[in-house]
Amino acid sequence: MARTKEFDENSILTKAMNLFWCKGYNATSAQDLVDGLGISRSSLYDTFGDKHNLFVLSLKEYRKQMGGGLIEMIENSTNAEKTIKQIFQVATTETIEDKLQKGCFMVNSTIELAASDKEIAKIVNENMQDIEDAFCRIVKKGQDLGQFNSLHSAQSLSRFLFNTISGIRVASRSGADKKVYDDIVKVTLSVLK
């Protein structure tokens, strides 16, 4: 007779995501997972497969939570300028308040694994494209309404915005202070005007 699981898979996946986010893939051992998730090694492997598969599932969950929230914010926007400013304010506030200085799980995974792991590269590239596309739509809306200049294409500006927000997440790993982020956001918004 099969044993029933005594844990919530979604809760365990969120714990795994946070563990990998803090430590990275390579620095997270199987024992770290067992200890951090509070489940047995056999339950871990029976439910999620190997460490790599659990990492992939964790990264996809992060993409759904974080990227999905940003895209939803853009899709529901009625004021392009205000929304872009709000996105950068949220990013900087989260960064400043993150005492662990863990940065962005997607950016961290890109740096650590994307060059050597095709499956991770595919996830991070799809994430980048989805966010760039969303930024492109809102920049185009802002250009059409005269809120943003048209010196550069909406696509070029969306790539700039994505790169800037990724850079903010990288800077958080070094413990940059609020003034650094305020300067970055100020210059970023000035490029759009």
Do 157 and 140 contact (CB within 8 A), yes or no?
Answer: no
pLDDT digit string, tens, across residues 163-189: 999 999 988 888 888 899 999 999 999
pLDDT at 5: 58
pLDDT at 177: 87
Quote the CA–CA distance of 126 and 103 in Å, as a whole number: 19
Give the position of tokens 């010196």.
151
Least Cα distance to 173 among 95, 62, 110, 66 occurs for: 95
pLDDT at 1: 43
pLDDT at 108: 95
**Helix residue ranges, H only, 26-177:** 30-37, 41-48, 51-62, 68-75, 80-97, 105-109, 118-144, 154-172
Least Cα distance to 148 among 103, 91, 180, 190 occurs for: 190
Residue 57 makes CB contacts below 8 A (sequence gap 6+) with 13, 16, 48
Give pTM, 2 decimals.
0.89
State whether the Cα torsion 174-167-70-114 is positive or negative: negative
| Cα-based angle 185, 191, 193 (whole degrees, multiple of 5) | 105
pLDDT digit string, tens, across residues 120-139: 999 999 999 999 999 999 99
Q: Which residues of 57-91 are buried (b: 16+ CB within 10 A; e: fewer)?
A: bbbebbbeebbeebbebbeebeebbebbeebbeeb
pLDDT at 154: 98
- Residues in the chain with pLDDT values less than 50: 1-2
pLDDT at 176: 83
